[in-house]
Every structure is written in structure tokens, then in C-alpha cells.
A and B are shown apart, each in its own frame.
Chain A
């Protein structure tokens, strides 16, 4: 299940955080009243007066002459968006930013063990977002990105809308076609044919819809049925985990270098553990006295977190490095950060010491080396008689 978290436009939230007195006021962001420009965001009070995003500031002033006009603070808006995503990332790393500002998605499946009661999880999300942004979010929960966003649009703060997967079609059927992301031509065409609800679209067969509206409109048709093939594009926090050690006096001893590298690995590991992350690449910069720095990159097959794993990876590379002058400084940086829990399924596999199944053994080899190491072949009888066409290789 996916939760869509909807907050007011981040520019509005940024303005409220800067000046709390602007809350509950008709606030229009985009520029001053006498400026040329368009409305970027409008508060609920301003919207009640007829102001809409995209309108010109002139028009906005005509319908809401007493509203407060302000330019949007772009850096503060970006900070608000990042804070919302970072707050959700603290609950689960499977978080994604939506195209529309003020929306974010959170996959809930991996939280089922920790939060068996979904209501309490949603309350926790509301509590955390409210404590960060000082506005309660509205939440919609559904099986796909589209349906969860539609549910979030219908939800009120502290009253989430939950659409179970089995009820998706029934839930969508009553909604207007306006919820679909379609262009104006198609909207008018649907209107002309009397197709005003998603239920009306659901009643049409897919081939018939395709014949009538063309292949490009099929995406909207699928959405009307609750089918959304878009994948959650995971947002990564802008982490930079780096540790450095200046060396005074400079060292040229391998033992000392290993000792310092181990200490830096420990510090990196602590930072990774604190953030629940693992790294797939460690970059070491060795600043050599009098000559340029030496760069060493170590890649890992899976995200590593523990000191031992990090040090085991970098130690052989350090010993092989062609160090031409004493070292003045060592910098270790963890790159390609991923959620550390990704490793856990591997930990559950039984190892050599136990009798493991063939499937476990294959999974272990593929995790340790690469998926293509162990393959299965099958023959495609219908393919042309060329070896590379007829034989289908797949990782086992």
C-alpha cells in the first residue's frame, strides 16, 4: 500500500513558518499586487475568494483586493519540501516526491511488522509532519500512486482516506473524469460523449476505448481502472558521510596507515548506523606530501555498514596503492548510500555451516557475486534458428 501525504503548497508553509501571523489570512504568493506575474500558491482563505494558481496577479487582486500579496521564497520552499521528505524518510526509506508540490508518497508495505495497526501509523505520520511543518497533512492510502493521490485530495487533515486494493474500482467509479491527468481536448471529447465519471470509462472495453480515443489515451483509461504502472521513485536524503584525519607529522608507514584507516572506518560505520544506511562505494583520498592526491575507490556488491566489512574492503586496496610520498591527510567518504536494511534478507540465508536449500545457495551466490553467475537456459521453439535467439538465458 502507498500513502500519499498532502500538505499545503510548500511556498505557503514556508511563508507561515517565517511569519505565523499570516495563518488564516487570505495569502497570495507569486509577487506583489502591482507586479506582472502569476499566482504560485494561494491560501484556503484566498481560494475561497476565487483566487486560483496560474491566474495573473492582476486578476487575483481584482477578486481579492484585501488579500496579502507576497513573492514566493524559493530557497525556503525548497527547504520545506526537503523537510517533508526527510521527515517521511525517518519513518521509512521508501519515500518519493510527487510532481505536484506539497505531495509526497510513502510505501507502507515494509512498515507492516513495525506498525501492525495502520491507523496508528497514519497518526504517527500526521504527528511527525505537523511537528516539522506546523501544518497537519491530509493522507490518502491506496494500492497505487494515482489512487492514493486522489484519496489524499479527498482526505481532510487528521481524517485519512483508505482505499483497499479490492475496492479500488468501486472507489474510482463515482469520481469525475477531472481527477485524471488528461489534456483539455480529451476532457472535452469525453464530455461531448457524456462520459463524466470514471465508472462510465470503466464500463467501456479496452479495445473499444482504444479505437475511439487512440493509444495515447489508454494510460488515462488504465488509471480509471485503478491500474498505475508508475514505480515509486525513491528519494534519497542528501547525505554526505565523510571522515578525514590530518597527519602531523606525515606518515609513510603501512601499519600506521591501516590503523588510521580502521579508525576512520569505525567513524564512517557509526554515521551509517545512525542513519540506517549502507554504502556501496568507499572513496579514499590520500593527500601526499609535495605531490597530488591519490584516489582509491572500493565498490561493494551490497550496501555495507559495519566497520569490519568496510575495512576488509579497503585494506587490500590500501596495501596495493602506489604511495609515492608521505601522507599528510586521509579522507574516507561513503558514496552510493542505500538503506542498510537491504542487506537483511541476505543475513537470513543459511550459510555453509548449515544445510541450505539449492534456492538459498543460488541466492547467496548471486548476492555475493552477480545475478548472471548462475543461470538457467530455456529454448524458444518459435524463434529463428540462430543460437543467440533460440536460447533464452535467465538468472536462476
Chain B
């Protein structure tokens, strides 16, 4: 970028703050999700580091499968924390995705406070990826805890994924840098009639780091042993 243009942008930023022009695609560090289609969709090559990414969608839309595949991919490179509020995490499913279970810490909290405190402490201690699988029912207290958690995540350059079945709170939507809405287009069955995977449609509802509104569709096979 020419110096004069950069100077002009600096002047405008000083004068207008966030309303000033900014690069369309800032160079932001990202953690690859392990799914090429998803990395393309986010516009920065994966999940943004130090930010909150929200995976939204109805039950059975594949968001948990996507998150678990990302967890499996991240566990091969570093430490991963899975905050399992519903208590439904299946380590065997994760291992079929190639997860290194030795690097995976599973937190089973009794309430939001416990879960958020665990996420905060473990992110601060250097966990590379923290995946929060929220309970199906909306719980009070997330909005108050999220700013503290995000502060820790940003400080520690960790990546925070949040899975929510219910419609996300305003606070969660506000604090998320990336919101992906998932929809299941179809189930994929094998010749023997077994369920082999699903066809997903993902839409970028919000993206603070790249252009929002992108849409993609791909096949997501289940890891069959």
C-alpha cells in the first residue's frame, strides 16, 4: 500500500474510528479446521485465532461433527480443551477422525460458571483450541462470562469455538467474530443402506475478518471404522 494512502487511512481512522476505511481482508492468524471447504469459506484460512467463532444451526445440521473434526485436527498439533456441557462427547468418534486423545482435555462442568471458569483458566494456560459445547437449553450467565473468557483467549492466542443448538444470545452473537450457520441438505446412505455422512450447507452470517455472506455446500462423510 502506498505511504500516502496509508497516511490518509490513518487520518481517517483517527477521525472516524471504526467507520474509517480498512483493508477488505486483514491478515489475521487462523487455525486450519481440517476441512478445506470450511477454510475457504471463512476467508482467512480457518478459525480465527484469539477470537470467538460460533457454530449455529438446528439439531442434526452437522455443526458438532464439524467442530469435532476441527478438535481432532487441532489435537494432532497441540493441546485441545473440549467443554462438554451436554455430556455427549464420544472419544471413540473423535479418535476415528484421527484425534490424539492424549492431548485432549475433556471438561464436564455442572453449570455455566464452572465451565466458563475452566475454559478461561485452560485457555490462559496455553490450550491451543477451546471448544465450548453449550447445553441445549439457553442458560443465563454466558453473557457475563464471555468478555472475561474472550480477554483470556485473545491474550493467550487460543482459538475459541462455540457450539449452540438453541438460538444464540445477543451477547454471544455480538462477541463472535465469525458466525457460521449450518443446515443439513441431505443424508448420504451407502449401498448397504447405512448412513455414511451428510451434505452440509454453511453460510457465513457474520465475519469481522473477511467478507460475510459466503455460502458453501459440501459432503461430510462420517468416520466409519
Using C-beta atoms within 8 Å of the partner chain, give the interface range for chain A.
20 to 34
CB of B45 closer than 8 Å to a CB of A: no
Is B210 interfacial (CB 8 A cutoff)?
Answer: no
How many residues in B have their beta carbons less than 8 Å from beta carbons of A?
22
Partner of B92, one of A356, A365, A379, A393: A379
B121 and A364 within 8 A (CB)? yes
Q: Are A379 and B95 in contact (CB under 8 A)?
A: yes
Q: Nearest Cβ in chain B — how far from A307, in angstroms?
A: 25
Inter-subunit contact A376/B101 (CB<8 Å): yes
**Closest residue of chain B to A372, judged by CB?**
B108
Partner of A373, one of B102, B107, B126: B107
Report chain B residues within 8 Å CB of A62.
Answer: none
Partner of B124, one of A356, A362, A373: A356
How long is the Cα–Cα vector from A14 to B102 in the complex, in angstroms? 59
Say yes or no: B126 contacts A358, CB within 8 Å: yes
Whether a CB of chain B sits under 8 angstroms from the CB of A391 is yes
CA distance A391 to B118 in the complex (A): 23
Identify which of B105, B122, B125 gathers the most chain A CB atoms within 10 Å of its CB: B125
Query: In whole angstroms, how far apart are the Cα atoms of A373 and B121 in the complex?
Result: 13
CB–CB B124/A352 < 8 A: yes
Hey, which chain A residues are within 8 Å of B124, CB to CB?
352, 355-356, 361
* Interface residues as binary, B84-114 with A (CB distance below 8 Å gives 1, 0 otherwise): 0000001110010000011011111100001
Q: Does A208 contact B (CB under 8 A)?
A: no
Give the residues in chain B near A377, CB-CB below 8 Å. 91, 101, 104, 106
The answer to whether A374 touches B107, judged by C-beta atoms less than 8 angstroms apart, is yes
Partner of A375, one of B92, B108, B127: B108
Complex CA gap A396/B106 in Å reads: 9
Q: Closest residue to B123 on the A side, CB-wise? A: A361
The CA-CA distance from A122 to B126 in the complex, in Å, is 46
Q: Is B157's CB within 8 Å of the partner chain A?
A: no
Q: From known contacts A361-B125, A374-B107, A379-B101, infer whether A387 and B90 are also in contact, taking CB-CB under 8 Å.
A: yes
The distance in angstroms between the C-alpha atoms of A290 and B62, with both chains bound, is 63
Residues of B close to A357: CB separation below 8 A: 125-126
Q: How far is the CA of A197 from the CA of B23 in the complex (A)?
A: 87
> Does B117 reach chain A (CB closer than 8 Å)?
yes
Cα A379 to Cα B196 in complex, Å, equals: 23
Q: How far is the CB of A370 from chain B (nearest CB, A)?
A: 9
- Contact digits for A339-357, partner B, Cβ 8 Å, 1 yes 0 no: 0000000000000100111
B79 at the interface (CB under 8 A from A): yes
Q: Decide yes or no whether A115 CB sits under 8 A from chain B.
A: no
Binary B-proximity of A255-295 (CB < 8 A = 1, otherwise 0): 00000000000000000000000000000000000000000
Q: Which residue in B102, B104, B109, B121 is a CB contact (below 8 Å) of A361?
A: B121
Give the docked Cα–Cα distance between A259 and B213 (Å): 60
Q: A358, B127: Cβ atoms under 8 Å?
A: yes
CB neighbours (8 Å) of B121 from chain A are 352, 361, 364-365
Residues from chain B with a CB closer than 8 A to the CB of A356 are 124-125
- Chain A contacts of B95 at CB under 8 A? 379
Q: CA–CA, A226 to B104, complex, Å?
A: 40
Q: How far is the CB of B12 from chain A (nearest CB, A)?
A: 38
- B46 → A minimal CB distance (Å): 22
- Is the Cβ of B91 less than 8 Å from the Cβ of A358? no
Report Cα–Cα, A373/B118, bound state, in Å: 9
Q: Is A390 an interface residue (CB 8 A)?
A: yes
| Contact B106–A390 (Cβ < 8 Å) | no
Listed from nearest, the 3 A-B pairs whose CB atoms lie closest are: A361-B125, A377-B91, A358-B125
Contacts from B to A (Cβ < 8 Å)? 79, 90-92, 95, 101-102, 104-109, 114, 117-118, 121-122, 124-127
Can you sample 14 A-B contacts with CB below 8 Å?
A352-B121, A358-B122, A358-B125, A358-B126, A365-B107, A373-B114, A374-B105, A374-B118, A376-B102, A376-B105, A377-B91, A378-B91, A378-B101, A390-B92
